[in-house]
Amino acid sequence: MGWNRASIKMDIEQFVALSLGEWRSMRSGHSLAFQQFEDVLSEIKIKSFEGDNKEVKHLIQLSSVPNESDFKAPFQMEWNAESDWEPDDPSEVSAGSCIIVPIPTNAKSGRLLRSVGYAESIPAESNYTFLDDGTFILTTNYDQSIAEERIWFVSDNVRCRSSVLKTSEGSGILQSSFASEVRRVKA
Amino acid sequence: MGWNRASIKMDIEQFVALSLGEWRSMRSGHSLAFQQFEDVLSEIKIKSFEGDNKEVKHLIQLSSVPNESDFKAPFQMEWNAESDWEPDDPSEVSAGSCIIVPIPTNAKSGRLLRSVGYAESIPAESNYTFLDDGTFILTTNYDQSIAEERIWFVSDNVRCRSSVLKTSEGSGILQSSFASEVRRVKA
């Protein structure tokens, strides 16, 4: 694929470094029970966390990981989404930001703390791991659901992101989504 | 995720066995240059190849693999797609079928021959490999483009399929797609 996957020894610091920047995202959501599609264009900004380490430590205190855990490469994510259905309806525009703090267990996996979760608007704690080709897999247990997200780079400037949300009990799949993200390269 | 990924030692025979059946597919295509979405509902039937082995041998003869290569678990795929934009317009309905012949090199990877390719309507030859979590990755070189497809099972009855099509020269990404596929369980 041009991009030399064989050379990848992906760890969380390299993954965050590759992710930093501004991205234009095309995201399709699939509601499996109702067979409904939702297509959304959005802007995503990922930048190194510039705040105080106190904020990071506070997030760690709220979590289940030991207080003195070593975190790596904390970052901040901002998004600004606009549904393509109702571009003039302000209620269809959603925006937000969160702080994300990785806490590696080893080179391939660890915990990831987020100030706001995706599926539910509360602080979220996830497990992450890298597959042998560098694909990042994030698993989050919410109260009522489990989310699995995968992110993989197709090139330095294109990444794909999929998610599947299922009920905690049994095998009900609620919805899935896929985003194609292209880096905004400054002129 | 409920489905016990840790127990997976995926090989091509197990992958084909899991794929057999009828699937209802929600597929979203992303044209990255034009930021256009295309959402398509389709039916996919995957069944063991019931034809003569002569057909399989013929496909092998047309390919670059040695004639006496051992094939495993050949299968047939039929699809019937209907764009959700123009459900009444027959020109928007596409259907087809192809024969697929895997030729393993080892337990994790090999070649895969198809009587019709996805991106171009000619016989296609691909490389496949499995990641350590059982994700199937298929790479196909066409005349003008390279396609990478990934298929992973979320449960026995739900699988995800993504594809990225890029130009052979350089790093231009033409389009991507994602399908959520739910097995039709007979009542």
pLDDT digits (tens, 9 = 90+) for A46-89: 999 987 888 898 889 889 998 888 999 999 999 998 765 555 55
Residue A92 — pLDDT band, cuts 50, 70, 90?
Answer: low
Mean pLDDT, to the nearest integer, of B31-47? 95
pTM of the model: 0.89
Mean pLDDT of chain A: 86
Show residues of chain A in contact with B170, CB under 8 Å: 2
B21: left (phi over 0), alpha (psi -120 to 50) or beta: left
A132 chain-B contacts, CB cut-off 8 A:
131-132
Q: Which of A107-111, A141-145, B149-153 is the least confident region?
A: A141-145
Q: What is the DSSP letter of B64?
A: S
Three state DSSP letters for A95-147: EEEEEEEEEECCCCEEEEEECCCCCCCCCEEEEEEECCCCCEEEEEECCCEEE
* pLDDT level of residue B121 (50, 70, 90 thresholds): low
Q: What is the pLDDT of residue A136?
A: 98
Q: 């996919």: which residue's tokens?
A: B44
- Residues of chain B in contact with residue A145, where contact means CB-CB under 8 angstroms, are none
Is the CB of B142 inside 8 Å of chain A's CB atoms? Answer: no
Name beta bridge partners: B162. B150, B178
Q: Are A133 and B137 in contact (CB under 8 A)?
A: yes
Question: What CATH number should be reported for the domain whose range is B5-183?
Answer: 2.40.128.20
User: Which residues of chain A make contact with B153, given a CB cutoff of 8 A?
Assistant: none
**The two three-digit tokens of residue B72, written as one number:** 């495993």
A35–B24 CB contact, under 8 Å: yes
Which of B41, B132, B166 lies at the smallest CB-CB distance from A2?
A: B166
Has residue B92 got a pLDDT over 70? no
Q: What ranges do the domains of chain B cover?
A: 5-183
Q: What are phi and psi of A131, to 5 degrees?
A: -75, 170
Asked if B30 and A30 come within 8 Å (Cβ–Cβ), the reply is no
Q: Could you tell me which residue, B131 or B93, shows the higher pLDDT?
A: B131
Q: Is residue B89 less than 8 Å (CB to CB) from chain A? A: no
DSSP state letters, B92-139: GEEEEEEEEEEEESSSSEEEEEESS-SSSSS-EEEEEEE-TTS-EEEE
* CB spacing of A1 vs B137 below 8 angstroms: no
For residue A14, the surrounding DSSP H or E stretch is: helix A12-19
